[in-house]
Amino acid sequence: MIMNIIKTAYVRNNGEIMIRIIFVLLFIFKISASFSHSQLSEILPKDNVTYVKVPSQINMKFNSLVKLVKIVMIRVDKKEKINLDLTSLNDRAKEHTLPMPKLSSGKYRIEWRALSPDGHIIKGKSDFEVK
């Protein structure tokens, strides 16, 4: 449909309207791209990894400034919640780091939620195992 409008505009006005339409579409695309949701770019402990030596920290990296609104660790095989030290959390940051609690052998899950700059909630998880 948009291509038909552009083709008709080009034929009628020697391309002047087509150029304007292209600029408007590019402007709209740029605005929508700048308001896209934040994404997690890296998490430690990594998802679906088995560790012999547990990482010393929980580390989460995002592609924009986010505020972590929830982070929990669960020992999946025993269905118990693991206490996390949340005192080091920043208000809004691209990277959030927490000390790793002492973990024994078992299967674990980290579940998190964050508030992106555009006000949307993003969420995820990381399942890992300790041998």
Cβ atoms within 10 Å, residue 124: 14
| Domain locations in the chain as residue ranges | 2-34, 40-130
Give percent above pLDDT 90 in the chain. 66
Q: Please tell us whether the domain made up of 40-130 is placed in CATH 2.60.40.1220.
A: yes
What is the pLDDT, as a whole number, of residue 26? 46
Q: What does the DSSP 8-state code read for residue 59?
A: E
Three-state DSSP state, 32: helix
Cβ atoms within 10 Å, residue 111: 14
Name the pLDDT band for 33 (thresholds 50, 70, 90).
very low
> Are 103 and 73 spatial neighbours (Cβ–Cβ below 8 Å)?
no
Chain segment 44-72, per-residue pLDDT in tens: 999 999 999 999 999 999 999 999 999 99
| 14 vs 42, more confident | 42
